[in-house]
Amino acid sequence: MGTPSDHLRVVVTGIGAVTPLGLDFATCWTNLLAGKSGIGKVAAFDVSAYDCKIAGEVRGFEGARFFKSPKDARRCDRFVQLALAAAKQALDDAGTDLSKENLDRVGVMVGSGVGGLKSMEDQHEILLKRGPSRLSPFMIPMMISNMGSGIVSMELGARGPNMAVTTACSTSAHTIGESMHAIRRGEADLMLAGGSEATICPLGIGGFSAMRALSTRNDEPEKASRPFDRDRDGFVMAEGAGILLLEELNHARRRGARIYCEIVGYGNTADAYHLTAPSPEGEGATRCMAMALRTAGLAPADVSYINTHGTSTQIGDVCETKAIKAVFGDQARKVAVSSTKSMTGHLLGAAGAVEMAICAKAIQEDKIPPTINLDHPDPECDLDYVPKVARECRVNAILTNSFGFGGHNACIAARKFA
């Protein structure tokens, strides 16, 4: 049994990701460093009647091969299939053999901002056309957001701490922070933490389009996501999953694990301001980043890289820039800052975990992915956004930001393991 301790250290030993830039994290990372975009015209359904016709889709994904049986896969929404794929990739990447682990001490926290939207959409159509008697008995379990965590634990036999966080675009950053706390409290040795999202469907694209939140640069999909650029016109939706294996340091050492980085801090605040807009001047984000630094024991000068929320919205990008300036002061223009959403699009509830995975790899390889499409920087966005080309430099410590509708803010701090 573990014992609660503030001194337990938490490291990242495995990464799994399925994104518009690749069906595994290695492919995604290669494409990020090359400055490639994963955005294209939507192929999943006819978008001719929609204002936004572009998204970051995961192409060629075969979810059934990750399940014990094809029947089990058919009973799961796409977001669950993506989650299980990323979880198994993370375990493989870490070289973890769960048959040698105490499964009571292996936990899962996989969140989703929306859950099984396509399953709900399909079943509603059946209801309208064929009546309630023809609804699937699996409709509810396919739809509810906790099934990412639930199915991953069932497929792997993980019986430790298990919950699903739903905080919109902050979801998977929160799962990482809360998983760190679970390990530090002595409740688990291993935690699979992350998020999954599959909302490229008529309701998803239509709903966000109705909010005027999405880019309509339909003729140039690869250039549509342009964080911090003066010509940005909204974010680009994407789908996928990101899962990290977090591990208590002594446990990782005993099995000779490779360590990407150490998770050292976590900020979690609320704007308490507006349904969808950030608080003025990025006040909530400021407090969140400051909390992450404080809990990590880091000073602004210690941070080499910030992976921003950076969604390519007019208000959000300016507010995040102001928040970074408020926290970092004179250091703000010395720290490298980029938005990988310029390439992946916005994976909503999965974004935070995919971006923490990117940060872990940046720490390991001392390489920072760029912000592409930054052709005409917004005068109000005047930091070092690593424009267009990846950069090689020493990455000692990072912050990664995630901010969600409802005023949810999350920030993770990590550093090189030593």
pLDDT score for 312: 98
With 60 as the cut, is the pLDDT of residue 415 above it? yes
Spatial separation of the C-alpha atoms in residues 101 and 130, rounded to whole Å? 48
> Sorting pLDDT into bands at 50, 70 and 90, what band is 4?
very low
pLDDT score for 317: 98
Instruction: Just list the catalytic residues.
Output: 169, 309, 346
* Beta strand spans in 159-239 (E): 162-163, 190-197
With 80 as the cut, is the pLDDT of residue 332 above it? yes
One-letter amino acid of 120: M
Mean pLDDT, the chain, as a whole number? 97
> Sorting pLDDT into bands at 50, 70 and 90, what band is 6?
low
Whether this model's pTM surpasses 0.85: yes
pLDDT score for 7: 75
With 50 as the cut, is the pLDDT of residue 3 above it? no
Taking only the tens place, the pLDDT of each residue in 103-162 is 999 999 999 999 999 999 999 999 999 999 999 999 999 999 999 999 999 999 999 999
The token pair at 165 is: 């966080």
Q: What's the burial of 295, exposed, middle or buried (CB within 10 Å: 0-12/13-18/19+)?
A: middle
Query: Please, what is the angle between helix 202-210 and helix 117-130, to 10°?
Result: 110
* 3-state SS class at 130: helix
With 50 as the cut, is the pLDDT of residue 82 above it? yes
Residues 6 or more apart whose CB falls under 8 angstroms from that of 246 comprise 10, 11, 12, 13, 176, 179, 180, 183, 190, 191, 192, 193, 263
- For residue 144, give Cα distances in angstroms to 24, 118, 133, 242: 25, 11, 20, 19
Span 383-399, mean pLDDT? Answer: 98
Spatial separation of the C-alpha atoms in residues 110 and 193, rounded to whole Å? 6
CA 301 to chain centre: 26
Q: Given strand 397-404, what is the order of strands in its sheet?
A: 162-163, 106-111, 190-197, 240-248, 10-18, 261-270, 408-415, 397-404, 305-307, 336-338
With 70 as the cut, is the pLDDT of residue 167 above it? yes
User: DSSP secondary structure string, 147-169?
Assistant: HHHHHHHHHHT--S-EE----GG
Span 305-329, mean pLDDT? Answer: 98
Spatial separation of the C-alpha atoms in residues 369 and 346, rounded to whole Å? 16
With 60 as the cut, is the pLDDT of residue 228 above it? yes
Span 375-390, mean pLDDT? Answer: 98
With 50 as the cut, is the pLDDT of residue 244 above it? yes
Spatial separation of the C-alpha atoms in residues 285 and 315, rounded to whole Å? 13
Which stretch of DSSP H or E encloses residue 263?
A: strand 261-270
